Amino acid sequence: MDLKIYDTSRRQKVTFEPRIQGKVGMYVCGPTVYDRIHIGNARPLVVFDVFARLLRRGYDVTYVRNITDIDDKINARAKERGIDIRDLTETTVDRFREDCAALNVLPPDHEPRATETIAEMIALIETLIERGHAYALEDGHVLFSVPSWPDYGKFANKDRDEQISGARVDVASYKRDPADFVLWKPSDAETPGWPNPWCEKGRPGWHIECSAMSEKFLGPDFDIHGGGIDLVFPHHQNEIAQSCCAHAESERGDRFARYWMHNGYLMSEGEKMSKSLGNFYTVAELLEEFPGEALRLVILQAHYRQPLDFSKDKCREAKAALDRLYRLKQTALTHGVDPSVDGAFVSALSDDLNVPLALAKLHELAEGIDTAEGAARFLGALDLLGIAQMEPDVWFKGADAGDGPSAEEVESLIEARKAAKAAKNFAEADRIRDELKDKGVVLEDKPGGVTEWRRA
């Protein structure tokens, strides 16, 4: 596979070369489970799902996406609702997975939780202290010493002033340097905590979690690290600092992750997404109005590195586009062929995951579905993008009618309409057709007296 990636650390598009021939290790930052994910959270989930599907065409892939279930936001939300922290995180994880399934996001190979990686975090922090890159305070805090690593800031292209400014939310009197960041902190009686060498009960800082979880499953060096562009600084810069400083250069095959990929920002209805502006949408809220595949297609229509302006109008347009794709899929399935891969389509995706170009290639492939080979390539392209994955009848008729008539009711009314037409009662036949249309069901009369239907 001739794969090119825009590498954030190099600030240019480069040819991908795995550390181990035929194998790829990829880590992507996952959710902090204190609430339902919003459509901005969904973007990296969908982007890196397509990328993982592409990689699996040519490599043995180990895809790791973590779950952060230790966080002050989680603690505050549980206290606000008056529920146990564990109950909040378990419920939120279940709902997160439901949202992923609705978006056709496949599960990663490993989905580690921060609470299950405490021992590895403590060991990593101890190593950083031993190597002179971290220091422990009497009150139980442990901090990373930013001045101890001269390369700090290079990845994010941040100078000294920007480093301090970016750390302002964590500036505290106990820091030796204003840019230092927390690796471990003490917990009070009401806050989750674990036994550790520095205080009776404590919990990790956010940044150390990903360094520990990625190393646990992929080793100290791996191929690809992904996430949203907002994570470049300070989170990913801090991950790099921790992981590089915990291992001598002779112990490392490379420089933590060899390639870094970041998806662009998401705007909503032309402005920054905000509850006060009324353009803040959770995936769950949008699924009440649109199919998950429509949300997925909207996300994919913009190049992953570019800003995405999300709107409900685009969801409606995506639903109409999917209707067309499902009609084409109906035709393609009549050939009874297995999906195959089209070279030009894969080449588009292999050029820094250029999904907009791949979608253009998909429409070209649709012109060839009258042949078995063309149908197979069209179906394979749908699978790689993770769209039009239902059976067409389920898409059009719906496994769940919601507020509309059930499939049985629709079929009964179609039979009544046929009887009315046979009796030359065309006014009654038109009335039934219009009634169904008002209820969101469209009838299509085909040759031979066959009537097909779909939900609008």
Residues marked as binding? 29, 210, 235, 239, 275
Please give the radius of gyration of the chain, using alpha carbons only, rounded to the nearest integer.
26
Among 302, 286, 305, smallest CA distance to 294 is for 286
CA diameter of the chain: 92
C-alpha distance from residue 285 to each of 37, 138, 177, 336 (Å): 10, 47, 44, 37
| Look-up of token digits 């990845």 | 155
Residues listed for the chain:
456
- Distance of alpha carbon 353 from alpha carbon 53, whole angstroms: 11
User: Is-contact 235 50, C-beta < 8 A?
Assistant: no
| Cβ atoms 273, 27 nearer than 8 A | no
User: Is-contact 27 225, C-beta < 8 A?
Assistant: yes
How is residue 152 written in tokens?
């700090």
254: three-class secondary structure by DSSP:
coil
Please confirm whether the linkage preceding 234 is cis (ω < 30° from 0). Answer: yes
Q: Which residues are annotated as a binding site for ATP?
A: 275
Closest residue by Cα to residue 243 from 268, 261, 225: 225
The number of beta carbons lying within 10 Å of the beta carbon of residue 413 is: 19
Q: Where is the binding site for Zn(2+), in residues?
A: 29, 210, 235, 239
Alpha carbon distances (Å) from 381 to 53, 202, 230, 346, 369: 11, 49, 31, 8, 12
Q: For tokens 């952060």, what's the residue?
A: 68
What gap in Å lies between CA 23 and CA 17, rounded to an integer?
10
The single-letter DSSP state of residue 329 is: H
Quote the tokens at residue 169.
């939310």
> Are residues 272 and 301 in contact, defined by beta-carbon separation less than 8 angstroms?
no
Burial class (CB in 10 A: 0-12, 13-18, 19+), 306: exposed
Contact 242, 134 (CB under 8 A): no
For residue 45 the two structure tokens come to 């989930």
**How is residue 241 annotated by DSSP?**
H
- For the chain, the straight-line distance linking the first and the last C-alpha, in angstroms and rounded, comes to 40
At 359, the amino acid letter reads L
CA 398, 402, 407: angle at the middle one, nearest 5? Answer: 45
